[in-house]
Amino acid sequence: QVMTALVLLLSSLAIASATLGIDAEQAISTSTFTCLKSNSYSFYISRVYRSNGSLDNTGVQNIKNAWAAGLKKVYAYIFPCHSSSFPSAADQVIAAINAVKNGGTKIEMLWLDIEIYN
């Protein structure tokens, strides 16, 4: 019984410390982010660089909208192209960071989404 109580206690602590967030690619308005925030969402992860080698300006605008709505944590990710005909990984990261800065906003962290196409 002690073990069962301990498992239940630890499970409830894990649930209590969980946070809600969203990762999306489509355009999201400030009012939608405000709605998400009022429903306990606290972070957003936005794509800012596509696998075809282009910047994602919708993602940059979403970052601005998320901050404007008062989300506490706003991150970005790049989906880099690993073809030799595209800029290096470092240059893709730099382009993504510059797009965020030039868009007049900021992020707390940049994630890398590395996938292989068959």
At 84, which CATH number? 3.20.20.60
Give pLDDT, residue 11.
61
Of the candidates 23, 25, 91, 108, the residue annotated as catalytic is 23
Does residue 2 lie in a domain region? no
SS3 18: coil
Does residue 65 lie in a domain region? yes
Does residue 14 lie in a domain region? no
Does residue 55 lie in a domain region? yes
Give pLDDT, residue 14.
55
Does residue 27 lie in a domain region? yes
Task: Give me the number of domains the chain comprises.
Answer: 1
| 93: its two tokens | 């990261």
Low-confidence spans in the chain with pLDDT less than 70? 1-17, 117-118
Give pLDDT, residue 19.
85
| 25: annotated active-site residue | no
Does residue 43 lie in a domain region? yes
Give pLDDT, residue 54.
92
Tell me if 48 sits within 8 A of 99, measured CB to CB: yes
The C-alpha atoms of residue 93 and residue 79 are separated, in whole angstroms, by 10
Does residue 82 lie in a domain region? yes
Of the candidates 25, 91, 108, 113, the residue annotated as catalytic is 113
Give pLDDT, residue 65.
98
Dihedral of the alpha carbons of 45, 47, 51, 55, in degrees to the nearest 10: -150
Does residue 61 lie in a domain region? yes
Give pLDDT, residue 86.
86
Give pLDDT, residue 46.
97
- Residue 106 sits in which domain range? 20-112
Give pLDDT, residue 81.
87
Give pLDDT, residue 15.
56
Q: What is the pTM of this model?
A: 0.82
| 91: annotated active-site residue | no
